[in-house]
Amino acid sequence: MKIELDDVHDLAAGVTLLGSGGGGDTATVARMLRHTLAHHGPVTLISAAELPDDALVIPIAATGSITVMIERLPTGAEFRSVIQALTEYLGRPAAALHVFEVGGANALFAVAAAAWAGLPLIDADGMGRAYPRIDQTVLNAAGISATPIALADPSGNQVLIQRARDNTDAERILRAVLPALGGWAATAVYPMRAADAHQYAIPGSITAALKLGRDLRAAQRTPWARVSLLGKRHAELLFSGTVVETLRHPRPRTGGTLTIEHETDPQRSLRVEIADEYLLAIDDGQVTASVPDIIALLDRRTWNPVSTEHITCGRFVDVVRFPSPPHWHHAEARRLVSPEAFGLRVLEQEERSLWA
C-alpha cells in the first residue's frame, strides 16, 4: 500500500481524532505533507515482518513546540540529518522508518520523513494515539531503549544523546536540549530491530488512522454516519453540552480543567481534566473515561475535533470515548499512562479526581 497525495485529508482527520485533543497543529503539517508528496511521490507502507529480523528500523517524530515549528518550518534536511546521524552511530543503514506516535502531527511528519529519505514506512507506531512524553510508549513498556536519540534543528545543529540511564531520563535530557535547538527538533528515537518492531509496536496504525479519517469525514456530513462511526469503533458518546468554564493550572505541564453543562439538564455537568491531551471525564462525580482511553471533544455542529488549546467557553460539544489499543491493557504499559503518571489521583471511593 502507498500513501498518496489524495490520502492526506483522510489521514490528517484520523490522526487529529487520535490526538485526544493534543498532538499539535495537524492542519499546517498536512499542508506541508501535501507539498512533500507532490514533489517526492507516494510513500510505501510495509509491515515490519517483511524485513529481515535484524534490519534497522528508526521511529521519527518532531519534538518540542509545534507552534514554534510553524515559525521555523522544516525543509526535510533536519529529518534526513537525524536518520543519517543514527545510521552512522550504529554503523548500519536504515531499512525503514517507523511512526513514533499515530496521534496528531507526528504521524504526518513520519510520512513526510519517509518521502524525504526515500525509505518505506512501517505501518505501526508506539502509542496508538498521542501522549506528551517519549517514555509513554509500548516500546518502553517492552524494555526497548529510547537511546541513542538524534535531534536536529532547521539551522543545521545536531545533538546525539548516546545513552540514558532509562527512558524517563532520556525524556528529561531531551526536553533540556530543545530550548538550545530553538524550541523544536526533528527527532529519531527508539532505533530497533525489525523483529522488535513486529513484536512490540502497535500494528496497522497508519491504515487504521486513514479508515478512521474517512469515517469521521462521513460523520461530519450526516447524523446517521456519526452513529455508524461510534458503533464500528466500539466508541461511546459520553456527554453533549456547552463548555461553561475553563481553568488552566499555573504550574508547568499540568494542564487544567474544563466544565461542560449538559444540553438538556442544567443540573448535570461533566468535568474534563486536561494536560496536553484530555485525560479524564467525570460525569457528576463518576469517572466515565480515563487515559489510556482516547477522549475526544467534537464540535457539535461540524464534528471537528477540538484541541485542548482551542477549547473555549460557549462551545457546544459532544464528548466521545474511544477504547485504547489493547497494548495499553498490560500492567507495565498502563503504569506509564495512568492518571497518576500525569499527576492525578483518582479516588475510587469518592469517584472523583484531584490533582496531586
What pTM, to 2 d.p., does this model score? 0.93
pLDDT band at 107 (very low <50, low <70, confident <90, very high): very high
> Strand pairing of 192-193 and 56-64?
antiparallel
Looking at residue 350, its pLDDT comes to 40
In this predicted structure, what is the pLDDT of residue 251?
Answer: 56
Q: What is the DSSP string of 272-306?
A: EEESSSEEEEEETTEEEEETTSEEEEEETTT--B-
4 burial type by CB count under 10 A (0-12 exposed, 13-18 middle, 19+ buried): exposed
Which residue has cell 523483529?
195
Q: Average pLDDT for residues 156-165, to the nearest whole number? A: 96
Give percent above pLDDT 70 in the chain.
Answer: 96
Compute the average pLDDT of residues 227-245.
95
Q: What is the mean pLDDT of residues 15-34?
A: 94
**Confidence at residue 73, expressed as pLDDT on a 0 to 100 scale:** 79
Asked if pLDDT for residue 332 goes beyond 50, the answer is yes
The predicted model gives 226-231 an average pLDDT of 94
**Alpha-carbon torsion (174, 175, 177, 178), positive or negative:** positive
Boundaries of every domain in the chain: 2-205, 235-355
Cβ(149)–Cβ(188) below 8 Å? yes
**Cell, residue 254:** 499540568
What is the overall mean pLDDT for the chain? Answer: 93
Radius of gyration of the chain (CA): 20
**At residue 248, does pLDDT exceed 50?**
yes
CATH number of 2-205: 3.40.1610.10
Mean pLDDT computed over 167-183: 96
Q: What is the mean pLDDT of residues 329-349?
A: 83
Number of alpha carbons in the 13 Å side-chain half-sphere of residue 95: 18
The pLDDT value given to residue 63: 95
Dist CA 57 CA 146 (whole Å): 13
pLDDT tens, residue by residue, 264-307: 998 899 999 999 999 999 998 899 999 999 999 999 999 999 99
pLDDT value at position 129?
96
- Strands 56-64 and 94-99, by their bridges, are parallel
pLDDT at 353 over 80: no
Which position has the higher pLDDT, 354 or 65?
Answer: 65
For the cut 80, the answer to whether the pLDDT of residue 2 exceeds it is yes
Sign of CA dihedral 104, 160, 200, 97: positive
Instruction: State the sign of the Cα–Cα–Cα–Cα dihedral 85, 90, 96, 102.
Output: negative
pLDDT computed for residue 82 by the predictor:
97
Q: Could you give phi then psi for residue 89, rounded to 5 degrees? A: -65, -40
Residue 253 scores a pLDDT above 70: no
**pLDDT (tens digit per residue) in 31-86:** 999 999 999 999 999 999 999 999 999 999 999 987 788 777 788 999 999 999 99
| Statement: 235-355 belongs to CATH 2.40.390.10 | yes
User: What pLDDT is stored for residue 221 in this prediction?
Assistant: 92
